[in-house]
A and B are shown apart, each in its own frame.
Chain A
Amino acid sequence: MIQNLREPHVTNRLLEGRETLCPALSLLDAIAEDREPFALRLESPGLEFQALSPVGPHPNRAVLKIFRIDEGPLEGRTAVFFFKKSRIPWSHDRHSYGVCLLPPSGPTPGEVEEWIEFATTGFHPDHRPARLRQAFTFTVPE
């Protein structure tokens, strides 16, 4: 579920995302329908979902960012970037856990489930997605 779905800015951002990031439609639907809570982060442009289910005694720091690659040989492809935001408010750092590319026809239900589970477990190494690419030759937009 998307906990802040009712906020007007969130709805508008999601509608925009559905138009521009078509291969991610099934992922967006799955996040909205999942039992585990997420929030759309309005502080950053594009679609960034903060996982909200706690990890043990600590808050979950996992974020899923859905974006379009705009450089290099993969230009135009849609991808999901897994990262943790720095715990220091002014830091620019994003602690990357990797990227999965979305096929133009959209990911399989199994892939979507895997990605959501990876986030809800706080990126536990045992739940790494099978197609996670830890190195990539494009810049993930901020």
Chain B
Amino acid sequence: MERLNPGELKIALFCRGLRIGPGCNLEEDARFLSRTRAGLGSGLDLVIPGDLKDLWVNVPVEEDFVEDSPFLLIGRQGTYWVRDGESRNEYEIEIPNQPNWYAAKTSKGTPMYRVGVLQGTYLGIYVSNSCSFWHHSPSMGCKFCTTGLNVGVNEIVEKDIEDVVEVARAAKAENGITFVHLNSGFAAKDRSLDVIAPYVKTLKERVGVLTGVQVTPSPNHWKYDWLLDCGADHFSFCYEFHNPQVFAQACPGKEKFIGQRTFLNALEYTAKKMGPGRVSGEIIAGVEPLEDTLRAIDYIAGLGAFPTVCIFRPTLGSEMERYPSPHYNDMRLVMEYMWDACRRNGILIGVAPNIEVSLVVTPDDSRYLPKRTMAWHVYEMKLKAAKRLARPLFSKELRPHLVKGDPTRYPAGASPLKIAPGLAPWPEGSRDMSSTIR
């Protein structure tokens, strides 16, 4: 059977998972697994070498479907290989080492790995105390997510800002990270961006990194301007499913308290404000009908934002734990479509330095999927030129520097806070568990 190229292998590993076979000494050689944030990072990080670029992938190894995977990891004289039991092909891969700072503590005594972890080559930090959706009875958490189950178990409950600075500095010094992704769950009363703002400013001024913000959307669009003043470089909006019915069923909290339209409004506002390629719309493929996923990609890329498409993973402990992992052929089609949508809309992908994402197949990773036609080569040339031109800009951004925004107060002249209609009241019959302790 034909060999898979690196992009195809990444997709196949997401869909089928990987069994750990003989000869592996991962305890010594690999990063330990850490399930943080939505639970997607529960897998094993590995790197697939390739001619266009090396691809990072966080391969599922914990979930039940992995037991039936044809892919087996084999260690052989200090090298690692993925053996495909169906095609009999073998692929040499690399296992990234665990950073030394994972074993270190901050000056307050917090183990650094519990503050943030590398997800590919960037630092991911879940800043706030869980997601309010999980503090309701019945739970309003998204059905594919395990965020509420992780904080306090695999992560510390609150992230101290000084701890975050120390961890980001350590990761920058040792791993050369250029990007810190700040993520938080739902905070009531439209406080999500307020919680994140001080971290953004501090990271810009004291560490010198690009910052990405991923929180539930605000109907108060002036807050995005405020965050930009505080130093945010990127916003991503996880609206998960384009099909409104699937969105409502799988994301009950987002449906009741926010509404899909609020996500789209914020995505549209920031995409227009920030220009092409600086905002992303995040969706999950493999649950809703394929046509809806393709529609989502067209919509997001049409705004000038880049689509971030997660391949659905039935993580342990989630409501959808027993839902099947998606089919490889479907996911390959989706990812190639995503690349083409970016090309058609002139979105510059892979321009920022050293941001390799292991949790999803990025548009930049999907360059491996299409046939290398004239259109492919023209787009590649554009991307190379953009990368070269952007280098001095990034070099400046990666030095600590003052930013003008003040995270402790809203900017002068900000419109009064809008809570409705974007943020609906708590549904009848639910109660706030965080304030009601039995």
Contact = CB atoms under 8 A, between A and B. Distances in A.
A73 to B, nearest CB: 6
A137 B157 contact: yes
Interface residues of A, number: 32
Interface in A80-119: 81, 83-84, 86-98, 101
Given A134-B139, A134-B141, A88 B61 contact: yes
A58 B67 contact: yes
Contacts of A15: none
B333 interface: no
B148 interface: yes
Interface of A: 58, 72-74, 81, 83-84, 86-98, 101, 123, 125, 131, 133-140
Given A135-B433, A137-B434, A89 B27 contact: yes
18 contacts: A87-B62, A88-B20, A88-B26, A88-B44, A88-B61, A91-B32, A92-B33, A95-B35, A97-B149, A131-B438, A133-B433, A134-B134, A135-B135, A135-B148, A136-B152, A137-B157, A138-B152, A140-B152
Contacts of B139: 134-135
Contacts of B321: 125
B154 interface: yes
A139 B156 contact: yes
Interface centre among A88, A94, A135, A137 (most CB of B within 10 A): A135
B322 A94 contact: no
A134 B32 contact: no
A86 B20 CA distance: 13
A34 B317 CA distance: 25
Contact of A97 (B113, B152, B317, B322): B317
Interface string B126-151: 00011100110001010000101111
Given A58-B67, A125-B321, A135-B134, A93 B34 contact: yes
A75 B56 CA distance: 42
A131 B35 CA distance: 24
Interface in B321-369: 321-322
Interface of B: 20, 26-27, 30, 32-35, 42, 44, 61-62, 64, 67, 113, 129-131, 134-135, 139, 141, 146, 148-154, 156-157, 315-317, 319, 321-322, 433-434, 437-438
A98 B129 CA distance: 16
Given A88-B62, A135-B130, A93 B42 contact: yes
A94 B331 CA distance: 29
Contact of A137 (B20, B61, B152): B152
A133 B403 CA distance: 41
Given A88-B44, A90-B26, A96 B150 contact: yes
B129 A83 contact: no
B383 to A, nearest CB: 37
A21 to B, nearest CB: 18
Nearest to B64: A58
A109 to B, nearest CB: 18
A140 B156 CA distance: 10
Interface centre among B20, B62, B156 (most CB of A within 10 A): B62
Contact of A95 (B30, B44, B317, B319): B317
A104 to B, nearest CB: 11
B63 to A, nearest CB: 9
Given A95-B35, A125-B322, 6 more contacts: A88-B33, A90-B30, A93-B62, A135-B141, A135-B148, A135-B149
B317 A96 contact: yes
A134 B129 contact: no
B157 A139 contact: yes
A58 to B, nearest CB: 7
Contact of B319 (A72, A81, A125): A125
B362 to A, nearest CB: 25
Top 4 closest A-B pairs, CB basis? Answer: A135-B134, A135-B148, A90-B27, A96-B149
Given A134-B141, A135-B433, A96 B146 contact: yes
Contacts of A83: 153
Nearest to B148: A135
Given A88-B33, A88-B61, A101 B26 contact: no
Nearest to B153: A96
Nearest to B434: A137
B325 to A, nearest CB: 16
B154 A94 contact: yes
Contacts of B113: 92
A94 B437 contact: no
B123 to A, nearest CB: 18
A116 B242 CA distance: 40
A125 B315 CA distance: 13
A90 B113 CA distance: 15
